[in-house]
Structures are given as structure tokens and as C-alpha cells.
Structure 1
Amino acid sequence: MVGVLSNKISKEDLKPGDHIYSWRHGYVYTHHGIYIGEGEVIHFTKGGSDTGGSLLDSITASSCPAINCLDPCPRCGDQSKMEGVIRSCIDCFLSGDELYLFQYSVSYLFFLGKVRGGTCTLAASDPAEDVLHRAKMLLENGFGEYHLSKNNCEDFAIYCKTSLIVLSRFSVCRGGQASSILAAANAVVSSPLRFLTRTTTFVTMGLTGTVVVGCGVYCVGRVVSDIGVRRDASKIPVEVLISAHQPKT
């Protein structure tokens, strides 16, 4: 049962238009997609053969399906070198990991109860037919260039569910997973946690006060970066988004 402790769901309970995800590298990162029915998922991937870029970019290379190109899936074939928006069977999407359901319209208390980002949002989901329309349009036309913090699989799935997106080229950490990492970094940099090695400050504030301040900074950072409350997020029709991604002539 999906709730605060776990978002795990069985394949039999899935409905077309559901935003699903699985953990990669043992709860290091999540890979997201949109279930479209008939055991198939549309998702956005960097491509398994591409390990260029940053260290974290290389981690997400495992988000591609078809684990072993020597023994390809009889349904999907070898998708190990594919990138961009692709369609896979749910088994290839999961790559042997567990299945989880991303949750929408959660309360602030529930949102903060999920200590790790990338599992829920304050934003509301649109009807399933709209979600499926966006996912299938982006399957045909793409979702731009993959970028771990600015344009990743979670951003793709959330856009399909809500039509909310941040188009500014200066935006960072749109998705909840990346935002939680940034919030954690800000908690250390902006709070007294960075002074723990300074004896006088540590004694004055006390360990409890230091931890409380750090947790507060982390929680605020996660909330203000959620797509459901961000002021720089806009609802963009998929046809307009596709046009924006088309190369200029």
C-alpha cells in the first residue's frame, strides 16, 4: 500500500498515466517514467553506452533498459544504446529493481515526511488522457537534451503529469531528487553545521540546536524548489514545448 513509509506498488495495480520509478545503485538515484498500459513505459534516458560528462551523469547511464545486449529482451530488443524518450516494457524499465508510484497533491507534512526527494510532489496531476497525450507526443518529438540536474527523467515524467516546466536556461535542479541534494548542500553551507569543528561555536549552540537549524534549512530548500510551488514554473502545452525544442532554421 502506497503511503509515507513506502511508495511500492505491484504491476497489477498500475493504471495508464501513472508516474512510476525505481531506485538505481541501491537507493542512490531514481529512474522515472510514465506507464501507458499493456505493460509498457515511456521514459527519458541518457543512454547506457554514454558515460561522458560528470560522475553523476555516468551514474544515471544505468537508467537505460536492456541490461545485456548479448541477451536482448524479446519484446524490446537491444535498447542499451538508445537515448532520449523511448518506450520499453516494464521489465526492461525496472532492470530488475522494485516498482514504486510517484505521488501527487501531497500535503506539506507528507512531503517533508519523505526525507528523500524524487518520490512525491505538492503539484496536482492532470487527467490520465492528458498525461498519455504528452508522453506519446514527446516519444515522437523528444524532450530536449538530457541533463542530470536541469532536464532529467523525473522532469520528463512530472511534465507529462502536470505540464509544469521551468524553461529558463539558468534554472537548476528542477526534479525533487536533484533538489534534495542541493538542499542538503545548502543546509551544510548555510547553517551552523559548517562550524562543528570550531569548539566555541559548537559549545555555544549545542549539537541539538545545530542539527535543528540544519534540518530546517534542508526542509525549506526542498519545499521552495518543488515544481508545485516554484514561481518560475509554468504550464506549457506540449505542442508549444516541442516547437521550443525544434532547431532554429
Structure 2
Amino acid sequence: MGLLSNKVQRSDLQTGDHVYSWRHAYIYAHHGIYTGDGKVIHFTRAADQEVGTGTFLDRILLSSSLSHTRNPCEKCGDLSAASGVIISCLDCFLSGGELYRFEYEVTPAFFIAKARGGTCTLAKSDTPEEVLHRATYLLQNGFGIYHIFKNNCEDFAIYCKTGLLVITNISVGRSGQAASFVAAATAVVSSPLRFLTTSFSGLAVVAGGMYCVSRYVADIGMRRDVEKIPVERLVARP
């Protein structure tokens, strides 16, 4: 693990690790919590549909992912229609992709250097026992409705690791992937600094700076609109 890649071997995994695997030419990553014995608890809309929005955009976003079918797993059975918080073997979770481990309590410099969101956070992880308690409790009781920007698979894994919940309704959730998407979309358009230069290189520098700043302040370890909420209280919320 390091600056260039978070890739790990299966033998290096530890119980309570936050793992992920890139999907569809690195468009997005699917996240979960490793429980040991080759099993992962994760939150999904349905197999290969974690990037879905529930709108007409899914026809575009999911067109490539739905073009193939997989045989039922000998260990897990047919998970093609499974949704919500589920448990599966590591092979089903990876869906043919490679294995990566999400990093916690990284330095600000390391976080900025990892320009792609959804790979690390400044936030501190709780103990493996606490992480597994949250994950197994949510496996039995659910994690609400899947939402690509406010309640996705990365949000689930980060909550299991930290217990932190966003308490405002006007911003994205805990997901670094969602924060990166929003930061990239608004870096130039919403920045008054774009008027300071008209050159392409100048705009690139401004956009890059705004993107890094936006990602940094939106990280779960830096935000002030979060609260540590016990999983039992989370499930009991209306």
C-alpha cells in the first residue's frame, strides 16, 4: 500500500478492513467491510448497479454493466437481484476486479496527493470489534435507501469504520467518490478565481487547486456537519 496504489493481497487482509474494488474501467469503486473467512458485508442497489441513480441516467451508466450475466456462485448462490446490506464471498464482492484496502488517518499531504477520491480519509478508524458490530448489525437491520450521492456503499463502509453520520440534508454523504465528483464538476464553474486568468494552463491550475481544496474540506475527517451515532440509534431513526 502506498501513494501509487492501495492494492493488497487477500492474505494481508485483517478482520474489519474497509476494502474496495474498481468497476467498469475505474469509473467507480464498490466498497465493503471484510469480516474474515473470505466474507465481505457490503451495501448495494443490486449486482453491478452501485453506480445507479434511480433515474433515466441509469440507461447510460449501466448499459455496459448489464450486458453480461454471471453464473450463480457456489458459495453465495444467485446474488444478481440482491440489494441492501448483504454478505458475500470475496470473489462475488470483487466481481472480477482487483482488491484494494481503504486507508484511514492519513496525513493531509498524503490525502491531497491521492487525487482520486474514495481511497483514503483523514478520519480515524474505530477498533475492529466496533467495526464488525456495526456491519453485522446493519446486515440484520438495513442501512436505509441506496443513494449514489448521500447513502452509497462507501458511505456504508465509512460509517462502519468510524460511526460518523452526516447530520445535514444539503450536502453529499461521507463518500469520497461523491465528494470528488462534486468537486470536479464545480471547480471552475463556481470559482471566482477563474476570472483571474484566461489561459488554459492558468485555468487548469485554478481548477486543480479548487478541486484539491474542495475534496479536503469535504472529507469526513475534516467536516463539522457529522456526529458519531451508535448503530442502534441509527437504525431506530425514522
TM > 0.5 between the two? yes
For residues 87 and 39 of structure 2, the distance between their equivalents in structure 1, rounded to whole angstroms, comes to: 7
Aligned to 1:74: 74
**What's the RMSD between the two structures over aligned residues?**
2.6
2:32 corresponds to = 33
Q: Which runs of 5+ in 2 are unaligned?
A: none
Are the structure 2 counterparts of residues 227 and 109 from structure 1 closer, same or farther at C-alpha, using a change threshold of 3 Å?
Answer: same
Q: C-alpha separation between the residues in 2 aligned to 1:106 and 1:36?
A: 23
**For 1:225 and 1:213, how far apart are their aligned partners in 2?**
18
Q: Which residue of 2 aligns with 1:48?
A: 47
Q: Residue in 1 aligned with 2:170?
A: 170
Query: What residue is the counterpart of 2:226 in the other structure?
Result: 233
- Aligned counterparts, 1:83-94, within 5 A: 83-94=83-94
Residue type at the aligned position of 2:167 = L
Extract structure 1 runs of 4+ deviating beyond 4 A: 56-64, 192-195
- Counterpart AA for 1:221: S
Distance 1:19-1:82 versus aligned 2 partners, 3 A rule: same
Q: d(CA) in 2 for partners of 1:166 and 1:146?
A: 15
* 1:230, distance to aligned residue in structure 2 (A): 0.7
CA distance in 2, matches of 1:149, 1:37: 29
Task: Output the TM-score relative to the length of structure 1.
Answer: 0.86
Structure 1 runs not aligned, ≥5 long: none
* Distance in 2 separating the partners of 1:92 and 1:47: 12
- Contact 1:48–1:61 (CA<8 Å) still a contact in 2? no
| Alpha-carbon distance between aligned partners in 2 of 1:47 and 1:99, rounded to the nearest angstrom | 20
Structure richer in helix, relative to its length: 1
Q: TM-score, normalised by structure 2?
A: 0.90
Identity rate of aligned residues, in percent?
Answer: 59
CA distance in 1, matches of 2:200, 2:44: 42
Structure 2 distance, partners of 1:17, 1:67, is: 30
Cα pair 2:104 2:124 within 8 Å, conserved: yes
